[in-house]
Amino acid sequence: MFLYVERASLVGMSVGGAIAIDFTLANPELVANLVPAVSGLSGHEWADPGVARLDKEVARAVEAGEPERAMEISLEVWAPLQTSPEVDERIRRIAMDNAHTFLIPDELVRAAPPAVDRLGQIEAPTLVIEAERDVGEIHAIAKFLAERIPGAHRRVIAGADHVANVRAPQKFNRLVLDFLGLEDLG
C-alpha cells in the first residue's frame, strides 16, 4: 500500500458515489464504510427522458469546444436553487474551475457487471444521503440503494439540491461524521 492505509471510509458525491459503490464491490476488503451521497449507480436505467436530453445537450457543448456552456447547462438542472449569493457564486466558481475537465457519465469506465444487480453483496456499513430538492431520479436511486444494501441507512438533507455538501455543509458534515463516529474535524 502506497499510503499504508489498509481500509478507508469512502464518501462519494453524484458520479463519485457511483464510483465509490463500484470500488466497494470490487475491493470489499479495503472499504470500512460507504457513504454514497446524491449518488448515481452503474447499471441504473434512467427513466426520466430529460436526463438523456440533458446528456445530449452537454455532449454537444463539449464537442463544440464549449465546456463552460456544458457546465451552465448542467448547473441549471443539478444546482437550480438560489440559496444565497455567496453559496451560489461558490458553486458556480467550483463548477467553472472544473469545466475544462468535464466528464460525461457515458464516458466513464463502468463496472462489469454493473453495481445495480450486486448491491446485496456490499457488507460495509452504508449511509445513503439524498437532498430534498434533488431531481426525482436521484431520490429513486437513493431509495433503491437503501433497500438493496444490507443494513443501509438513508438520510435526507432538507432544503438542499444536488450539491448538498455545498448548500448545507454543516448538515452534510454532521451526518457523515456522526455515521463514521467521528468528532467535528474543524
Q: Which of 101, 135, 170 is the last residue of a domain?
A: 101
* Side-chain half-sphere exposure of 149, counting CA atoms within 13 A: 27
Q: What is the pLDDT of residue 105?
A: 52
Q: For residue 14, name the pLDDT band (cuts at 50, 70, 90).
A: very high
Does residue 39 sit in the same domain as residue 127?
Answer: yes
My answer on whether 170 and 81 are in the same domain is no
160 & 123 share domain = yes
| 139 half-sphere exposure, CB direction, 13 A CA radius | 12
- On whether both 123 and 156 belong to a single domain, the answer is yes
How many domains would you assign to the chain?
2
Domain-embedded: residue 139: yes
Instruction: Mark whether 31 and 56 lie in a shared domain.
Output: no
154 beta partners: 128
Indicate whether 158 belongs to any domain: yes
Neighbours of 146 (CB within 10 A): 19
Most confident of 65-74, 105-114, 158-167: 158-167
Q: Could you tell me the pTM of the whole model?
A: 0.85
Q: How confident is the model over 157-183, as a mean pLDDT? A: 94
Same domain assignment for residues 32 and 124: yes
Say if residue 74 is in the same domain as residue 40. no
Give the mean pLDDT of the chain: 89
Pairing of β 8-13 and β 153-157: unpaired
Q: 129 and 41 in one domain?
A: yes
Q: Tell me, rounded to whole angstroms, the distance of Cα 78 from its chain centroid.
A: 11
Helix (H, G, I), strand (E, B) or coil at 27: coil
Question: Is it the case that residue 185 has pLDDT exceeding 80?
Answer: no
With beta carbons less than 8 A apart as the criterion, state whether 126 and 152 touch.
yes
Residues of the domain holding 167: 8-45+114-180
User: In this structure, how many other beta carbons lie within 10 angstroms of the beta carbon of residue 136?
Assistant: 10
Q: Determine the pLDDT at residue 103.
A: 57
Q: How far is CA 185 from CA 82, 173, 174, 177, 182, in A?
A: 28, 9, 10, 8, 8
Cα distance between residue 186 and residue 168, in whole Å: 16
Model confidence at 107, in pLDDT bands (50, 70, 90)?
very low
Q: How far apart are CA 25 and CA 12, in angstroms?
A: 14
- Let me know whether 15 and 39 are in one domain: yes
In a domain, 118, yes or no: yes
